[in-house]
Amino acid sequence: MCGIVGIYSTSPVNQGLYDALTVLQHRGQDAAGIVTLQEGNLFLRKANGLVKDVFHTRHMRRLKGNMGVGHVRYPTAGCASSAEAQPLYVNYPYGIVLAHNGNLTNQDDLKKELYEANQRHINTSSDSEILLNVFAHELQIDSNQSLSPENIFEAIEGVYKRCKGAFAAVALITGHGMVCFRDPYGIRPVVFGKKEVNGKTEYMVASESVALNALDFELVRDIKPGEAIYIDDDGNLHTQQCAEFHEPAPCIFEHVYLARPDSFIDDISVYRARLRMGEKLADKISRDWKEHDIDVVIPIPDTSTTSAMELAHKLNIKLRHGFVKNRYIGRTFIMPGQQMRKKSVRQKLNAIDIEFRGKNVLLVDDSIVRGTTSKQIVDMARAAGANKVYFASAAPAVRYPNVYGIDMPSAKELIAHGRTNEEIGELIGADKLIYQELSDLIETCREGNPKITRFDTSVFSGEYITGDVDNDYLDALDKKRNDLAKSDSADEKSDEDNDENDQTIMELHNVGGA
């Protein structure tokens, strides 16, 4: 899960990119970066940390130009090294920078192919560098000084033929313009918008529509699965379907957890989808637990609040905000290392005792991944004086890892993997555990856009829609994602961040020109 943004404007874009990245900060808190383009020169600033900590006034002043791209990242299976902060750059042909959200499922084969057949060396463990080099190589095949939209779209067709998995990417091609493309299944989201300024049209692409809203861009539409858009240096918009048609299957977990509630993804209101999740949960409780003794519904902030609100309303039960959240702590399920997660939960939430004391409480969360957070929250509710503690998940049981760009952990670390719902409830210490039905979750999203007939639900069903994920792939992924591997990666990151020669945390610098 990362956030990408690209802006073509008639005025400097540095502030707009910064503002957009702050709006997309929830999609990644590990690293941030911006590249701008002016008169054939690319200007870069990227480093580990939050947007507000990476960019200072001196950096912003040096990010010159009316076109640029930005990225916020959290690492998936790769190392958290600052060397992998995006956007990434390659100097041939033309000079290209790229920001990417997603994960290539055939990256190992591509890396070998790029080295042996294309004579391109990949310097990091990032699949984004692989995607960038594949795109660069496809542009290189027909490279000339009069690069046309047709040449660019043909190169992207080559990317689609070679790359498998999930990707939404935005790139700058020095001397030519900005291009954005989305994987053939539309797994990862990306939208584009426009606005008129002094009779000229400006364009913006972003992972979520909320970033467009923040900069007063009008949402035009989602970029279609397998589609590319290209804005040339003169501000002309070109679009083309570059991949053979696949039935769209966007990631349903965007609506459960990843996206902001004020975003629209594939014409589906995230907020309304979460309201319907609460409604479906209430229906299940009314159907399967008619004699419930719930006194109060308490959401676990913040993602579950919308669902909990509708659940309480439909069951005619009081909703109370029983937890105070420290908003300066990151999202816990994406934090490497079990000890860091345990410590973070205690720092992140504090219970208001009077909302729990002597009551039978129903805690509502968006999902349960490792179960570490859920268990501690149940314990906190009991310590605050709750009589009984019930737990409801707005999503079904997460039983399988994600391979399309979300850092769902090793299957062995997922509390629901290989366990019954009763066993999970016992492990987290709940008196009763209620999960959303997968069919109901799908319906909550399809109701927002009936044209979408299926979603990527692999974390719940174990069905991987790209058709190239088998047990061998999952076993290899397991080795990369287990906590021990991440602990080693975190140590490497700490060493690198203390290295005075680490170029990714240097002052803003020019990284190339045409």
Strands of the sheet containing 227-232, edge to edge, are 88-90, 96-104, 165-173, 177-182, 227-232, 237-241
Catalytic residues: 2
Q: 138 has which bridge partners?
A: none
Distances, alpha carbon 259 to alpha carbons 28, 241, 256, 344, 385, in Å:
11, 26, 8, 21, 33
The answer to whether the CB of 65 falls within 8 A of the CB of 13 is yes
Say if residues 126 and 88 touch (Cβ distance below 8 Å): yes
- Tokens 């039983």 found at: 399
Q: Do residues 260 and 399 lie in contact, with contact meaning Cβ atoms separated by under 8 Å?
A: no
What is the rounded CA–CA span in Å between residue 12 and residue 19?
A: 13
- SS3 call for 165: strand
Residue 182, C-beta contacts closer than 8 angstroms, at least 6 positions apart: 167, 168, 188, 190, 223, 224, 225, 226, 227
CB 270 within 8 A of CB 209: no
Whether 307 and 274 have beta carbons less than 8 Å apart is answered as yes
Could you give the CA distance from residue 435 to residue 478 in angstroms, rounded to a whole number? 25
Q: Could you write out the DSSP letters of every residue in 39-102?
A: TTEEEEEEEES-HHHH--HHHHHH--SSEEEEEEE--SSS---GGG-SSEEE-SSS-EEEEEEE
d(CA 232, CA 494): 41
CA proximity to 305, closest of 329, 286, 321, 282:
321
Inter-axis angle of helices 338-348 and 372-383, nearest 10: 40
Q: Beta strands 360-365 and 388-393: pairing type?
A: parallel
From its phi and psi, is residue 304 left (phi > 0), alpha (psi between -120 and 50) or beta?
alpha
Residue 36's nearest CA partner among 71, 12, 55 is 12
In terms of DSSP H, where are the helices of 384-465? Answer: 421-428, 438-446, 458-461
